[in-house]
């Protein structure tokens, strides 16, 4: 059965036969008390796009992985229900006699691309071409055939020019396309894409969009998992709204979007008027700036502080060049720019993680040169993109309370920790392990750890990425509250619409310096 002859004879394509169908009565992980999924059904016809929408922790990823055989009944948890690929249906009753899915064969017909595209890669192949061929190698596909298929898939996914590159050195968009290519090289009838556009800039998103259109034209059924109702989701023919592990609405997008279930699910509705821009009055101008950057210049490979490896060729152009920025108390400044423009580099200068090579950074009029980051952090709270790097405690409450006692004294510390948790809506999760929170709440927790210290400057790196609508609302409130108490706020984002809706001033990072837009 595993002897390589598993390529199933394709059923004669009848118009009504879905490429994939799932009817999940219940699914729970081993070791979890509750059910992660209840009563979820999906049927995806060839060549159609189906969007499964839901907030953070709604069970989208679990559902997608079950459909594609990444999570398996018995192996990963207890499943009751049925899964079908084409005419082949498998029933599960949640006992030990259940059939066991062969993940290799199953994924040949149902592909899945995880949100973290890097996790799709084998980590043992040194070129894009070999990474693409990894699955074929394991199936014993003859080399000539393998080269042909790899080249064909590379062409479909726009990777032809990158075949000799090391996968570890691809950009975010290229990496995402490689992950998709690794799934589609087996020609699956259905492809599940988990948040395929997350943290891609406009150019990267457009290329991925083309790729999806090509797959649909070729007759692949595409299932999109997303917490944003973006342009890609809006092009779907059918929406399924997941909330708390179960379907609360489904149907054509226009219909679903009008319903209450859609707005309750915490889905971010792009293109709908969110906060109104410009309504926030700019703070009174005369106040002395809390943060000032004067003529800051910085380039990688020319500093003693950074450990980033230079490409080894010619010295790269400086990332920041003669950059000036003034933030006054209560002011919200947004910095935008495409991926790789140096936005994160700029942010790391605000608390001394990177030291400018020219110019200086002033906090409340005093230079921070030479002060360790851990001390600057009392004044500048910096929130990174990857929340799990920042979290290390056993419970949410301990996480927020960490280091507060030294800063504020016992009684105040406990109060402030709870206050910060309440501000981001995590008061009832105080005893949870941080890593068991859904990703949106992990980011909010990281935000709470910064808020609890009531910093004079709040610096946020791509704060909206990975947040669902509830998360974004909490973020908006927290940012507004911090501004109201007089903190200066710098947020860096590639999402221009969000920047305009939130900030008093929007600046573009371009050629190493900032300009108003």
DSSP 36: S
CA distances 396 to 67, 166, 208, 430, Å, are 32, 39, 36, 5
For other proteins, the binding residue among 436, 481, 484, 497 (CB under 8 A) is 436
- Hey, how many other C-beta atoms are within 10 angstroms of the C-beta on 258? 10
CB of 517 to other proteins, least distance (A): 27
Nearer to other proteins, 4 or 365 (CB): 4
**246, 38 contact by CB (below 8 A):** yes
Q: Name residues contacting other proteins, limited to 305-344 (CB under 8 A).
A: 307-308
Nearer to other proteins, 95 or 324 (CB): 95
CB of 375 to other proteins, least distance (A): 7
CB of 483 to other proteins, least distance (A): 20
- Hey, how many other C-beta atoms are within 10 angstroms of the C-beta on 84? 18
Choices 133-141, 272-280, 295-303, 410-418; region in contact with other proteins by CB under 8 A: 133-141
By CB under 8 A, tell whether 370 contacts other proteins.
no
Q: Which two tokens stand for residue 464?
A: 């909206």
Number of residues that bind other proteins (CB under 8 A): 98
CB of 312 to other proteins, least distance (A): 13
Nearer to other proteins, 269 or 430 (CB): 430
By CB under 8 A, tell whether 152 contacts other proteins.
no
CB of 89 to other proteins, least distance (A): 8
By CB under 8 A, tell whether 116 contacts other proteins.
yes
CB of 282 to other proteins, least distance (A): 28
Q: Residues 479, 484, 490, 496: what is their CA dihedral angle, to the nearest 10 degrees?
A: 60
Q: Name residues contacting other proteins, limited to 235-294 (CB under 8 A).
A: none
Choices 106-114, 236-244, 323-331, 422-430; region in contact with other proteins by CB under 8 A: 106-114
- Hey, how many other C-beta atoms are within 10 angstroms of the C-beta on 288? 9
Q: Which residues contact 375 (CB under 8 A, 6 or more apart)?
A: none
Q: Which residues contact 427 (CB under 8 A, 6 or more apart)?
A: 418, 421
**190, 20 contact by CB (below 8 A):** yes
Q: Which two tokens stand for residue 18?
A: 């879905």
Choices 121-129, 197-205, 210-218, 274-282; region in contact with other proteins by CB under 8 A: 121-129
**298, 354 contact by CB (below 8 A):** yes
With vertex at residue 254, the alpha carbon angle to CA 248 and CA 257, rounded to the nearest 5 degrees, is: 40
**142, 157 contact by CB (below 8 A):** no
Residues in the chain: 517
Q: Name residues contacting other proteins, limited to 441-500 (CB under 8 A).
A: 449-450, 453
Nearer to other proteins, 492 or 508 (CB): 492
Please choose, from the candidates 459, 483, 457, the residue with its C-alpha nearest in 3D space to the C-alpha of residue 283. 483
In angstroms, the CA 385 to CA 446 distance is 10
By CB under 8 A, tell whether 150 contacts other proteins.
yes
Q: Which two tokens stand for residue 184?
A: 């589609």
Q: Residues 57, 59, 62, 63: what is their CA dihedral angle, to the nearest 10 degrees?
A: -160
| Sequence-ordered alpha helix ranges (H) in 433-468 | 439-451
For other proteins, the binding residue among 13, 39, 137, 310 (CB under 8 A) is 137
On the 0-12 / 13-18 / 19+ scale of CB atoms within 10 A, 74 is: middle
**245, 35 contact by CB (below 8 A):** yes
CB of 427 to other proteins, least distance (A): 20
In angstroms, the CA 132 to CA 147 distance is 10
CB of 79 to other proteins, least distance (A): 14
Nearer to other proteins, 131 or 230 (CB): 131
By CB under 8 A, tell whether 101 contacts other proteins.
yes
Nearer to other proteins, 327 or 382 (CB): 382
Q: Name residues contacting other proteins, limited to 157-176 (CB under 8 A).
A: 168
For other proteins, the binding residue among 13, 91, 119, 210 (CB under 8 A) is 119
For other proteins, the binding residue among 17, 23, 25, 125 (CB under 8 A) is 125
For other proteins, the binding residue among 38, 65, 176, 177 (CB under 8 A) is 65
Nearer to other proteins, 68 or 241 (CB): 68
Choices 48-56, 89-97, 255-263, 496-504; region in contact with other proteins by CB under 8 A: 89-97
SS3 call for 56: coil
Nearer to other proteins, 107 or 513 (CB): 107
Q: Name residues contacting other proteins, limited to 30-59 (CB under 8 A).
A: 30-33
By CB under 8 A, tell whether 121 contacts other proteins.
yes
- Hey, how many other C-beta atoms are within 10 angstroms of the C-beta on 27? 26
Nearer to other proteins, 2 or 14 (CB): 2
CA distances 249 to 132, 243, 262, Å, are 38, 9, 7
For other proteins, the binding residue among 154, 377, 490, 499 (CB under 8 A) is 377
Choices 92-100, 228-236, 251-259, 503-511; region in contact with other proteins by CB under 8 A: 92-100
Nearer to other proteins, 256 or 446 (CB): 446
In angstroms, the CA 495 to CA 357 distance is 29
By CB under 8 A, tell whether 369 contacts other proteins.
no
H or E segment to which residue 226 belongs? strand 221-226
Choices 318-326, 400-408, 414-422, 423-431; region in contact with other proteins by CB under 8 A: 400-408
By CB under 8 A, tell whether 389 contacts other proteins.
yes
């Amino acid at each position: 059965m595993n002897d390589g002859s598993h390529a199933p004879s394709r059923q004669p394509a009848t118009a009504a036969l879905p490429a994939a169908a799932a009817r999940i009565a219940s699914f729970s992980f081993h070791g979890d008390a509750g059910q992660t999924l209840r009563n979820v059904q999906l049927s995806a016809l060839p060549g159609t796009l189906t969007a499964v929408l839901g907030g953070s922790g709604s069970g989208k990823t679990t559902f997608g992985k079950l459909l594609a055989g990444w999570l398996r009944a018995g192996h990963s948890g207890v499943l009751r229900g049925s899964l079908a690929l084409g005419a082949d249906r498998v029933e599960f009753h949640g006992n030990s006699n259940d059939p066991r899915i062969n993940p290799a064969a199953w994924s040949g017909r149902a592909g899945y691309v995880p949100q973290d595209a890097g996790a799709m890669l084998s980590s043992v192949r040194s070129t894009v071409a070999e990474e693409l061929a990894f699955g074929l190698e394991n199936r014993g596909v003859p080399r000539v055939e393998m080269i042909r298929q790899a080249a064909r898939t590379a062409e479909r996914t726009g990777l032809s020019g990158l075949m000799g590159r090391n996968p570890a050195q691809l950009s975010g968009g290229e990496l995402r396309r490689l992950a998709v290519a690794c799934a589609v090289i087996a020609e699956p009838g259905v492809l599940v894409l988990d948040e395929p556009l997350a943290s891609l800039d406009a150019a990267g998103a457009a290329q991925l969009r083309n790729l999806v259109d090509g797959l649909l034209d070729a007759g692949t059924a595409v299932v999109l998992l997303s917490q944003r109702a973006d342009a890609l989701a809006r092009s779907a023919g059918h929406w399924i709204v997941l909330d708390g592990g179960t379907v609360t609405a489904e149907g054509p997008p226009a219909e679903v979007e009008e319903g209450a279930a859609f707005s309750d699910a915490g889905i971010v509705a792009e293109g709908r008027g969110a906060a109104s821009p410009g309504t926030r009055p700019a703070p009174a101008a005369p106040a002395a700036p809390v943060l000032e950057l004067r003529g800051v210049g910085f380039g990688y490979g020319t500093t003693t502080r950074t450990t980033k490896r230079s490409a080894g060729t010619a010295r790269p152009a400086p990332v920041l060049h003669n950059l000036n920025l003034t933030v006054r108390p209560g002011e919200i400044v947004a910095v935008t720019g495409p991926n790789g423009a140096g936005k994160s580099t700029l942010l790391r200068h605000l608390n001394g993680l990177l030291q400018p090579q020219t110019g200086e950074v002033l906090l409340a009029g005093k230079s921070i040169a030479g002060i360790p980051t851990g001390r600057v952090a009392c004044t500048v709270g910096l929130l990174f993109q990857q929340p799990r790097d920042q979290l290390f405690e056993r419970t949410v409450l301990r996480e927020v309370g960490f280091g507060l006692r030294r800063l504020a004294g016992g009684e105040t510390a406990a109060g402030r920790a709870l206050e910060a948790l309440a501000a981001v809506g995590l008061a009832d999760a105080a005893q949870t392990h941080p890593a068991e929170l859904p990703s949106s709440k992990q980011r909010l927790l990281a935000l709470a750890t910064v808020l609890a210290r009531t910093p004079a400057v709040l610096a946020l790196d791509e704060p909206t990425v990975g947040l669902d609508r509830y998360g974004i609302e909490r973020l908006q409130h927290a940012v507004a509250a911090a501004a109201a108490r007089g903190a200066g706020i710098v947020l860096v984002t590639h999402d221009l619409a969000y920047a305009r809706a939130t900030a008093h001033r929007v600046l573009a990072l371009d050629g190493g310096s900032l300009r108003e837009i």
